[in-house]
Amino acid sequence: MKQKYKIESMSYGPFAISHSAEGEVVFIENACPEDEVEAEVYDKRKGFSYASITELVKESSLRNPDPNCKLHKICGSCQWQHIDYNEQLKFKKKNLEDLVRESKIDFNEELPDVLGMEEPWNYRNKVCYPVKTVKSTGRLQAGYFKRNSNELINIKFCPIQYSIFDEIIDKVKDLCSDKLITDEVLRHILLRSNNDKSQVLLCLIVRKKELFPETHASIKEIFKTLTAEFPQLKTCTINYNTLSTNVILGEKTETVIGSGYIFETVNDLTLRISTTSFFQVNTKQFSKIIDLIVPELKADSKILDAYCGAGIISLALAKKLSGLDITGIEVVASAIKDANKNAEINDVKAHFIEGKVEDQILHLFQKAPDARLASSEQAELTDVSMMTAKNKRNVADGLLGVDVVIVNPPRKGCTNKVLDALGEMAVKKIIYVSCNPSTLTRDIKRLEGFGYKLKSFQGVDMFPHTYHVETLAILETTS
């Protein structure tokens, strides 16, 4: 049944929010606050519904009158491209304010404006497209999935990524089709580039443990053709992933052409980036995050960088402030390899440890008991869960001597085990970088139970034209 709605706000997600005549919350895609629409409910739940627009009755002045991508209404990549960019930033700030309030965090300051981009287009330095072979033609397609479906949209132009990617992917699709490389072999096409587009990395992710010799030879021919046509394409790799999951990359990567990596420069830091390296997709906005963190540190600070990835944050900070003592923890072995190599390239002193954060952080507690403590007190330190309030400061000042802990976890946030260990450490400051403000506010609330207080909460728009927002939170202990 169709009904008219006045759009009130944006959710933290792809939907705008309105209410039905009965007062029920209705989530509507491709709508903008102040729109007046006619929409039809397609999914009714207990207490709320999802609806799609059947007619845009009155268009909001907050809309972007000419979105750059004509597929934005169906593509699952950009959920907010129909909204004026400056308004997107305001809605993201409002979403952050709502999350802080709803989580009941002890923070009464007005949030600063989200830091946006002057040119919020062509910012993605990495793209990874799933592929599909059209059975009737044998041609390979690549792109993003249509919202709420497994239907692949064949993308030929994407305005949020580097434009060189469009050209290379178009050629990859043609060459794979001609060489009969189908989706029975190929899973994804991955491209990475440095900021000035002078170095590009291409990886074909295959669903095989190993390739037949003729298939491998065909892929090698494809790579040779591409590198001849695109001089900026410096290296080509094959990644092998046999898992039937949504994990994109497998553990094995084979370098076929070039060195297997490219070099990026950010904040005077030279970074080696490989196929599997974690690096923020928006280089320019990442620099802003580093600039926000630097004032929170002293030149002789001792830092624990949890979920350090390839050590990008650690090394960028060390380049800005000489004298920092940094230890990083990361579970991905290839990332640790990159981190150590990047430290060597930049002549930066840092120590990186491979392992799960929740395991390694406990190990670090136990590694060097403080000789000043009585034996009974040392015994208490062998189990973080048994630490007394008296010993919390000894852990921070005596064992590790850590002044600041930086955490940059995946979207699911930190585990309770990590948060509890951080709470027991009682370091003076925690700097939390998050791509998911929902889990960030949840984790901050838990840390409050250990005497931490939120001092600042800054949104940085790493992902223009989507609802996603990177957030930097600074917490300090009150004890």
Question: Active-site residues: which are they?
Answer: 435
Q: Under 8 Å CB-to-CB from 477, ≥6 apart: which residues?
A: 426, 427, 428, 429, 450, 451, 452, 453
Q: Is 91 left (phi over 0), alpha (psi -120 to 50) or beta?
A: alpha
- CA–chain centroid gap for 34, Å, is 31
Q: Which amino acid is at 59?
A: E
Question: What value, to the nearest 5°, has the Cα angle with vertex 466 and ends 413 and 165?
Answer: 100
Q: Under 8 Å CB-to-CB from 362, ≥6 apart: which residues?
A: 384, 421
Half-sphere exposure of 394 (CA within 13 A, CB side): 19
Which tokens hold the place of 96? 């952050």
CA–CA gap between residue 366 and residue 395 (Å, rounded): 9
Transcribe 117-175 into DSSP letters.
-SS-SS-BSEEEEEEEE-TTT--EEEEEEBTTSSPEEE-S--TTB-HHHHHHHHHHHHH
CA–CA gap between residue 326 and residue 301 (Å, rounded): 8
Asked if residue 123 lies in contact with residue 284, where contact means CB atoms within 8 angstroms, the answer is yes
Which tokens hold the place of 425? 């450490």
Question: 182 exposed, middle or buried (CB, 10 Å; 0-12, 13-18, 19+)?
Answer: middle
Tell me phi and psi for residue 72, to 5 degrees: -60, -25
Which tokens hold the place of 192? 């990475």
Tell me the longest C-alpha to C-alpha distance in the chain. 77
Which tokens hold the place of 368? 């060097």
Beta carbons within 10 angstroms of residue 299's beta carbon: 9
